[in-house]
């Protein structure tokens, strides 16, 4: 494997290219017209424009990407995450053109891409499941009957869904019909598929996921868990590894369950198995993401591995050299997704110009970044600028370093989730480890963040005044 095309943009494109460079593999970037001057374009050995700004005319055009790959004699394509990373047709298109797709086979992508098919597939391995329907449903009266049997509150979820779309929590029978109609409508709009299913709503869930890796020689590994319960709109913002609440026994059980999920669909490459953990520490299979996750760096730091390097080696047909017994958790890692969003205004996108953009530096601070000072943030794509990752020997150390890194991350021109990251890291519920996926709903508000800003501004003003008075005193003495 001498040349890889990275079918993505921003921080993940650069992340993949860095590992390829380390391995002596040449890289090809693809870019839309609006990304012509983006850092990932300059980082690659070669770069080709594949269309206008909208992703359905550029980054989602598998045919154009394959054409570029063939013209430049590319051996493999790494899809990153998002865009074509979980597109089974694109994986098949790569195979048909003798180009290695750095990811699982199309069969695994298809099976795990449907939540219902995934549930059916893993049944034989006795993976714990949340009580609910085994098949898609659109008949509202029948669905209401099933929901009453399971017991409220229940969750309606789009079968083809993700990112919180087509998902509705129903507290009682009276609101069931309206919520069901909304879920079906949203699922049709977002995924072209209105089928939904119903499951018991776990009232205080934690979102725990297990990083897995499998090769073509029958070897399966897990790299422990990630805690991903700090979310807004069902999407993660703060992740950490390991979780503050898993015992060694529970970690082993969940790790083995994740490996069994991977076995159930003959999985190859890097994947993530997501679970819900309830109040009593019972865990339930949620879904499998058949790609590299945004939050993979925290697993890399605690396990001491380069997951992209392992992906590439597996794609080359190599056997995994690591054994499960050799893997140990070392230290603690924390990640904040730095989105161009306004946490004071319901986390709405904050597009604009990066007038100031300076990254924090230092030991055990890692920034997977895709932007530079002076750039515009395009409205056409996900608004994530970078991932800020800190590592410490203990959880407290990682949190303190994150607070320091946030202070030294300077952005002007757009609003970001950096202040929200500070709010989380300073909150007692987070610091104690006693939180769930309702953290934002329970504890966060724009008013509280505003209050925090005022207090910080007052402290800063007092420190500045004290320094000024001390300097004046020194000047009087010297005169």
pLDDT of 456 over the 70 cut = no
Residue 9 confidence class, pLDDT cut points 50, 70, 90: very high
pLDDT tens digits for 370-395? Answer: 999 999 999 999 999 999 999 999 99
Average pLDDT value for residue range 135-159: 88
Q: Any idea which residue has 């997951």 for tokens?
A: 307
Within 8 A by CB and 6+ apart from 250, the residues are: 281, 283
90 to each of 17, 168, 192, how far by Cα in Å? Answer: 21, 31, 18
Q: What DSSP string describes 83-111?
A: TTTT-HHHHHHHHHTT-EESS--HHHHHH
pLDDT beyond 80 at 289: yes
Q: How far apart are CA 419 and CA 415, in angstroms?
A: 9
Q: What is the mean pLDDT of the chain?
A: 93
Q: Is the pLDDT score of 361 beyond 90?
A: yes
pLDDT of 278? 93
What is the enclosing helix (H) or strand (E) of 212?
strand 206-214
- pLDDT value of position 467: 79
End-to-end CA distance of the chain: 72
* Mode of pairing for the β-strands spanning 26-32 and 3-6: parallel
Region 460-471: mean pLDDT is 75
- CATH code for the structural domain at 131-200: 3.30.1490.20
> What does each C-alpha distance from 45 to 18, 102, 196 come to in angstroms?
11, 19, 45
- pLDDT, mean of residues 336-356: 95
Domain 3-102 fold: Rossmann fold (3.40.50)
DSSP single-letter state for residue 324: G
CA distance 209 to 275: 6
> What pLDDT, on the 0 to 100 scale, is given for residue 453?
64
- Phi, psi (deg, nearest 5) at residue 404: -65, -40
Is residue 101 a contact partner of residue 4, using CB atoms and an 8 Å limit? no
Q: What mean pLDDT do residues 286-301 have?
A: 97
381 dihedral zone (left: phi>0; alpha: psi -120 to 50; beta): beta
pLDDT of residue 75: 98
Quick one: pLDDT band at residue 217, thresholds 50, 70, 90? very high
Q: Which residues are catalytic?
A: 291
Q: Which residue has the tokens 């499951």?
A: 199
CA angle 468, 474, 476 (to 5 degrees): 105
Dihedral pair phi/psi, residue 412, rounded to 5°: -135, 145
Query: Is there a contact between 392 and 331 (Cβ–Cβ < 8 Å)?
Result: yes
Extract the tokens encoding 330: 């070392």
Q: Could you tell me the CA-to-CA distances from 392 to 49, 87, 197, 241 in Å, in that order?
A: 41, 36, 41, 11
With beta carbons less than 8 A apart as the criterion, state whether 157 and 118 touch: no
Report whether 438 contacts 204 (CB < 8 A).
yes
φ and ψ at residue 41, rounded to 5 degrees: -70, -45
Q: Whole-angstrom Cα distance, residue 288 to residue 118?
A: 8
Asked whether the predicted pLDDT for residue 276 surpasses 80, the reply is: yes
Gap between the Cα atoms of 390 and 363, Å rounded: 9
> What CATH architecture does domain 206-447 belong to?
2-Layer Sandwich (3.30)
Dist. CA 92–CA 72, nearest whole Å: 20
Task: Average the pLDDT over 449-478 and give the result.
Answer: 72
CA 434 from chain centre, in angstroms, equals: 22
Domain ranges in the chain? 3-102, 131-200, 206-447
- Residue 18, both tokens: 């860095």
Instruction: Say which DSSP state 376 is in.
Output: B
Share of the chain above pLDDT 70, in %: 97
Among the residue ranges 9-13, 177-181, 352-356, the one predicted with the least confidence is: 177-181
pLDDT category of residue 469 using cuts at 50, 70 and 90: confident
* H/E run at residue 402: helix 395-407
The pTM of this model reads 0.89
């Amino acid at each position: 494997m001498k040349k890889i095309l990275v079918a993505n943009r921003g921080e993940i494109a650069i992340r993949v290219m860095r590992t390829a460079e380390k391995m002596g593999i040449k890289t090809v970037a693809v870019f839309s017209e609006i990304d012509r001057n983006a850092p990932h374009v300059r980082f690659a050995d070669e770069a080709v424009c594949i269309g206008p700004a909208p992703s359905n005319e550029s980054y989602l055009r598998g045919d154009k990407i394959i054409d570029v790959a063939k013209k430049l004699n590319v051996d493999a394509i790494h899809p990153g995450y998002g865009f074509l990373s979980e597109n089974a047709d694109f994986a098949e298109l790569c195979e048909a053109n003798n180009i290695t797709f750095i990811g699982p086979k199309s069969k695994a992508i298809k099976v795990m891409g449907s939540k219902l098919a995934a549930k059916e597939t893993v049944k034989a391995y006795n993976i714990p499941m949340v009580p609910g329907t085994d098949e898609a449903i659109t008949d509202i009266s029948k669905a209401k009957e099933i929901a009453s049997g399971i017991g409220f509150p229940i969750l309606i979820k789009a079968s083809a869904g993700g990112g919180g779309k087509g998902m509705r929590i129903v507290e009682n029978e009276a609101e069931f019909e309206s919520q069901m109609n909304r879920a079906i409508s949203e699922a049709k709009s977002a995924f072209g598929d209105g089928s939904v299913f119903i499951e018991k709503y776990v009232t205080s869930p934690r979102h725990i996921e297990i990083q897995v890796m499998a090769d073509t020689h029958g070897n399966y590994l897990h790299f422990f868990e990630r805690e991903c319960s700090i979310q807004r709109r069902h999407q993660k913002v703060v992740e950490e590894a390991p979780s503050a609440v898993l015992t060694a026994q529970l970690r082993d059980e969940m790790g083995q369950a994740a490996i069994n999920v991977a076995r159930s669909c003959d999985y190859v490459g890097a994947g993530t198995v997501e679970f819900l953990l309830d109040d009593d520490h019972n865990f339930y299979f949620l879904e499998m993401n058949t790609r590299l996750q945004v939050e993979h760096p925290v697993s890399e730091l605690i396990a001491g591995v380069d997951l992209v390097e392992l992906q590439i080696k597996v794609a080359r047909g190599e056997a995994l050299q690591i054994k499960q017994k050799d893997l140990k958790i070392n230290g603690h890692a924390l990640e904040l997704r730095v989105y161009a969003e306004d946490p004071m205004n319901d986390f709405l996108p904050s597009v604009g110009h990066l007038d100031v953009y300076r990254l924090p530096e230092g030991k055990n601070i890692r920034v997977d970044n895709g932007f530079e000072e002076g750039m515009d943030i395009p409205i056409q794509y996900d608004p994530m600028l970078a991932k800020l990752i800190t590592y410490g020997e203990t959880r407290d150390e990682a949190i303190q370093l994150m607070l320091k890194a946030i202070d030294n991350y300077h952005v002007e021109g757009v609003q970001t989730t950096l202040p929200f990251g500070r709010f989380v890291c300073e909150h007692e519920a987070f610091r104690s480890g006693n939180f769930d996926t309702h953290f934002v709903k329970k504890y966060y508000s724009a008013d509280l963040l505003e209050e925090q800003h005022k207090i910080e501004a007052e402290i800063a003003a007092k420190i500045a005044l004290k320094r000024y008075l001390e300097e004046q005193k020194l000047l009087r003495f010297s005169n």
